[in-house]
Amino acid sequence: MRERSAGHGAHPIMVALDFPSADEALALAARLEGVPVWMKVGMELFYAAGPDLVRRLKAQGHRIFLDLKFHDIPNTVRGAARSATRLGVDMFNVHAAGGSAMMRAALEGAREASADGSLPTIIAVTQLTSTSEETMRREIGIDGNIADVVVRYAALAKDAGLHGVVSSALEAAAVKAACGGDFVTVTPGIRPAGADVADQARVMTPSAALAAGADYLVIGRPITAAPDPREALQRVVEEIASVRR
């Protein structure tokens, strides 16, 4: 039986703090103060600012998704999961392509580091939303339909005891059908209507993503690069309000 994480059930929007410095990230967080969204700390920001930035955001009351996509031998990932859990993040991820033993090691590391028995939400990356089916087949070397591959990885993650997956919103309904309604779906590639898709290949609007079964919507540049990030975020909040009623 999978253990229930402490973080599931909060506001669905995750703002991607994809900045090269702590000052820029904290300035954006300050502009969004009072809106109870998650903050996603990814590779660029974490490698520039380190754990202290996560601690500062946590001290300000933010829920944190640490998006470092652990993918290594099981022992290394186990140690990384211990460190992420001790840091106090609310969610972190691993690559499902690392296999069942690696995913189980992540769960074990989190258990070892949990002081009170509650765990971060641990999710597995299935296929990046920048990956097209052609890229998956010709370059990565995985045959088949991309949705089928995502669901297969999701099933592996569930069997390993993880709480959910990262996928595009296009696969959210299929993941829920295969793994159950309480299996968490975190969906990058969210673009409000009319927004530039940039380097994303599989995208969906916020309201359509929630209607399709997404639990969390990762939104970066449409908010962080907007002339008024708070106004841009508020438009997304208003868009999804009707879906969540």
Name the residues annotated as catalytic.
69
Distance CA 101, CA 196 (A): 38
Distance CA 42, CA 93 (A): 11
Sign of the dihedral defined by the CA atoms of residues 202, 173, 192, 49, in that order: negative
Bridge pairing between strands 216-219 and 91-95:
unpaired
Q: Report the DSSP beta bridge partners of residue 13.
A: 217
Q: Report the DSSP beta bridge partners of residue 135.
A: none
* Strand ranges (E), the chain: 13-16, 38-42, 64-70, 91-95, 121-125, 164-166, 184-187, 216-219
Q: Report how far apart, in Å, the C-alpha atoms of 227 and of each of 16, 160, 216, 233 are.
A: 16, 43, 24, 11
8 A C-beta contact, residue 102 and residue 77: yes
Our CA dihedral for 55, 167, 125, 31, rounded to 10 degrees, sits at: -20
